[in-house]
Amino acid sequence: GQQVMQIPQYQHVQEGEDFTTYCNSSTTLSNIQWYKQRPGGHPVFLIQLVKSGEVKKQKRLTFQFGEAKKNSSLHITATQTTDVGTYFCAGPGGGSNYKLTFGKGTLLTVNP
Amino acid sequence: DAGVTQSPTHLIKTRGQQVTLRCSPKSGHDTVSWYQQALGQGPQFIFQYYEEEERQRGNFPDRFSGHQFPNYSSELNVNALLLGDSALYLCASSWWSGTGGGSPLHFGNGTRLTVT
């Protein structure tokens, strides 16, 4: 079945440093979505990428969708303590576009 | 505009018991998906409901069942609880996207189920 893998599993940074998490799918995706889950909270939708090679920015966050539509990345510039949480990528597939398959996530901690 | 609401927030059950979790979708959404999230893991898809029918099911046993009502709210039922069923159960609502794939999900706060 479809697999969505994320690396790294954990990342600890000093406040102000940059952070990048990578997502790879075993199958081509029609789109990819990113979610953020704060400790003790629930996943919150950040963005959806649809086009091959697409790049979208949200303030200090930059999201990329690979040319082959099988990989994606999230880059945070100059991290802040408010960026703490687990970042998940998710893509439809596994024989059906009805469901989203989530990666295991990257837990980001920021030292002030 | 209310978001996704789930009840109860916490639940403690004994092995072998049955549990029902409830979810009201965000206003305007017609599709409800249920996910199980173990500690330190990503959400695992259980099933999705649209037009009161189960549209897709993940790799979960028949002990997991659900229902969607005409007002789009939904229930998740788990029978014969096992210790391994302890997890955060997340309900997510969205617009129906059919085979178009992946309308963004709006999650509720979840129900923390502990099986002892």
Residues of chain A contacting B101 with CB distance shorter than 8 Å: 30-31, 92-93, 97-98
List the Cα angle A51/A55/A61 in 5-degree steps: 135
Residue type, A96: S
**Two structure tokens written together for B86:** 């302890």
Average pLDDT, chain A: 94
- Residue A78 CB burial class (10 angstroms; 0-12, 13-18, ≥19): exposed
Which of B46, B21, B22 lies closest to B35 in space, CA to CA? B46
What would the pLDDT profile of B22-78 be if each residue is shown by its tens digit?
999 999 999 999 999 999 999 999 999 999 999 889 999 999 999 999 999 999 999
Which of A51, A44, A77, A52 lies closest to A62 in space, CA to CA? A77
* Chain A residue closest in CA terms to B56: A98
Question: Of residues B95 and A53, which shows the higher confidence score?
Answer: A53
Rounded distance between C-alpha atoms, residue A60 and residue A74, angstroms:
10
Rounded distance between C-alpha atoms, residue A96 and residue B37, angstroms:
20
Residues of chain B contacting A98 with CB distance shorter than 8 Å: 48, 55-56, 98-99, 101
In which element (H, E) is residue A64 found? strand A61-65
**Two structure tokens written together for B47:** 């099933």
- As a whole number, mean pLDDT of residues B5-15 equals 98
